[in-house]
Structure 1
Amino acid sequence: MTLKHVVAAVQMNCELCNKAGNLQKAQMLIEQALEQQATLIVLPELFNTGYRVEEQDWQYAETIPGETTDYLQRIATQHDVTIIGCILERGEIEGTIFDTAFVIAKNGILGKYRKTHLWDQENIRFNRGDALSVIHKDDLKIGLQICYEIGFPEGARILTLQGANILVYPSAFGEKRYYVWDIASRARAIENGCFVIAANRSGSEKQSTHFGGKSRIIDPQGNVLAEAVQEDECIVATINLQRVIQQRREVPYLRDLNKAVFHPSE
């Protein structure tokens, strides 16, 4: 079993409604991660379209699998790498849209997650997801959440109790709420004894939405192993899953959780 993994978070400024350009930029940043031997790479929320495409949500939404996941699948297959992204997904019912994260490896789509806690106008734009599950890639047990959900400890805890040892947050998190991003991302790591990868957007859209950047990789003690400082950047860190076990033994929140009171899996 391989306990050490090189993981990466991509931070990028996206051009609204320019799928081709955004995919090319994402590939460039993925290639930077590959040059540093990364085997798990996380992209931001709605990286392929930009976030503020609300007037054209249906136009730019895709099926999974579909155009964007096929594009990333080719990269994953060529380089034997795992890629996590997040796009607008067309639902099974015509006219419905989800904000959906997915995990792609060389052998295909390993799983997906539809955002359940929607921020502000997302409640008008999107349908809510209704399921949490851990996605396995070798000894990595990946719990997916999206952006705003970094402030909801319940989802992270349920995923941890389902076996997650790494929590991943593709995000388009706002600049003025950096204080939430900073504390919540480290809190989710500490309280669950997990690694956290939070890949955030940078730049601005429609002169009113300003993204916070500061994508980060965090260890189970809440230490920030790497943090992005540039508009377009790929940060990389080596994680050792043995630290998950060590932290959960040193601070045994999961052992001491009174499940009979909280019923976290129901």
Structure 2
Amino acid sequence: MSNVLKAAAIQMNCILGNKEENLAKAKKLVEEAIHQGARLIVLPELFNTGYRVEENDLDLAESIPGFTTHWMSEISARSGIYLVGCFLEKGQTDGLIYDTAVAVGPNGLIGSYRKIHLWDTENTRFTKGEEFPVFDLGFARLGMQICYEVGFPEGARILTLSGADIVVYPSAFGKARLYAWDVATRSRALENGIYVLACNRTGTEKGETTFGGTSRIVNPQGMVLAEASQEDEVVISEIDLDMVARQRRSIPYLRDLNKSVVLKGLASK
């Protein structure tokens, strides 16, 4: 039985605060990915609102499940695909907002992940998450991180040790630091023997925040299989999940990791 499937990353610009327009654009791009045979599709960070909406975070945040989750679930159910999106989540405690990635499938909501490592002024906007869940999709085990977290190897390693063979990074990553994006996306894939789907924003918001695009799909050897170069683009590639185990045998980082020593070192800090 083949263990190969098509995965896609949706690269797109957004209109600040305009959920209707952003969802319409996202739907068109997702449908393009579906038409090309993608079974797992990832949308960027805060794709339904744009990123620099800090003055409207409270108004734009949603419960999970909620409006955007239902929008995602309807597309997934209709097309039989798995979809990951990232948007502002309204916490159960009034006034708390999370930057949250959500995974849905043909049968509805699968689960969510709240961003743990917040970038710069995000620390004044969002509450930090605390958990690293891994979700079994049937054909693969999925871990989620968000944007800046691609530079923190601990998150991807924790997800990998918990069983993930694909880690997705919905992002609004800045153009000024694309050098970090380039190295980190490939490094997280190689050191863990995982597929990385790194999905980024494009465009400029408020005349000062420019996103770097360069959405990509990276294999367990750290090789870029497909990469975006346009403002609104579907990045798609076949991924062979059997390669995960083969690469982990070829360079046995996980086998040779002395977890007890690492954990002891962390505990002593």
TM-score by length of 1: 0.98
Cα shift at 1:263 = 2.5
| Alignment-mate amino acid for residue 158 of structure 1 | I
Equivalence for 1:168:
168
Q: Which residue of 1 is the match for residue 3 of structure 2? A: 3
What is the match of residue 157 of structure 1?
Answer: 157
Displacement of 1:154: 0.2
Structure 1 counterpart of 2:100: 100
**In structure 1, what is the Cα distance between the partners aligned to 2:78 and 2:119?**
36
Aligned to 1:63: 63
Amino acid at match of 2:117: H
| Deviation of 1:3 (Å) | 1.3
Report the alpha carbon displacement of residue 2 of structure 1 after superposing the two structures with TM. 4.8
1:88-127 residue pairs with structure 2 within 5 A? Answer: 88-127=88-127
Map of 1:77 onto structure 2: 77
1:220-260 C-alpha deviation (Å, 9 max, x unpaired)? 00110000000000110000011111100000000000011
Which residue does 1:244 correspond to in 2?
A: 244
- Aligned amino acid, residue 153 of structure 2: P
CA distance in 2, matches of 1:210, 1:128: 24
2:24 is matched with which residue?
24
Match for 2:123: what amino acid? Answer: N
Gap runs ≥5 in structure 1: none
Secondary structure of the corresponding residue to residue 10 of structure 2 = strand
1:139 CA displacement: 2.3
**What secondary structure, in the 3-state scheme, does the structure 2 residue paired with 1:113 have?**
strand
Measure the CA separation in 1 of the matches of 2:71 and 2:111.
16
Q: Secondary structure at the match of 1:263?
A: helix
Q: Which runs of 5+ in 2 are unaligned?
A: none
TM-score, normalization by structure 2: 0.97
| 1:12-53 deviation digits (Å, cap 9, x = unpaired) | 000001000000000000011011100000000000000000
1:45 aligns with 2:45: yes
- In the TM superposition, residue 72 of structure 1 has moved relative to its aligned partner by 1.1
Instruction: Report if aligned partners of 1:2, 1:139 keep a CA contact under 8 Å in 2.
Output: no
Counterpart-to-counterpart distance in 1, 2:20 and 2:192: 38
Q: Would you say how many aligned residue pairs link Structure 1 and Structure 2?
A: 266
Q: How many Å separate the matches in 1 of 2:37 and 2:69?
A: 22
Aligned AA for 2:221? Q
Q: Which residue of 2 aligns with 1:232?
A: 232
CA distance in 1, matches of 2:261, 2:92: 36
> Contact (CA 8 Å) 1:117, 1:149: kept in 2 or not?
yes
Give runs of ≥4 in structure 1 deviating > 2 Å. Answer: 263-266
Paired residues for 1:193-204 under 5 Å: 193-204=193-204
Matched to 1:81, the amino acid is I
1:263 paired residue number: 263
Q: Encode CA deviations 1:134-167: one digit per residue, 9 max, x unaligned.
A: 1110121111000000000000000000000011
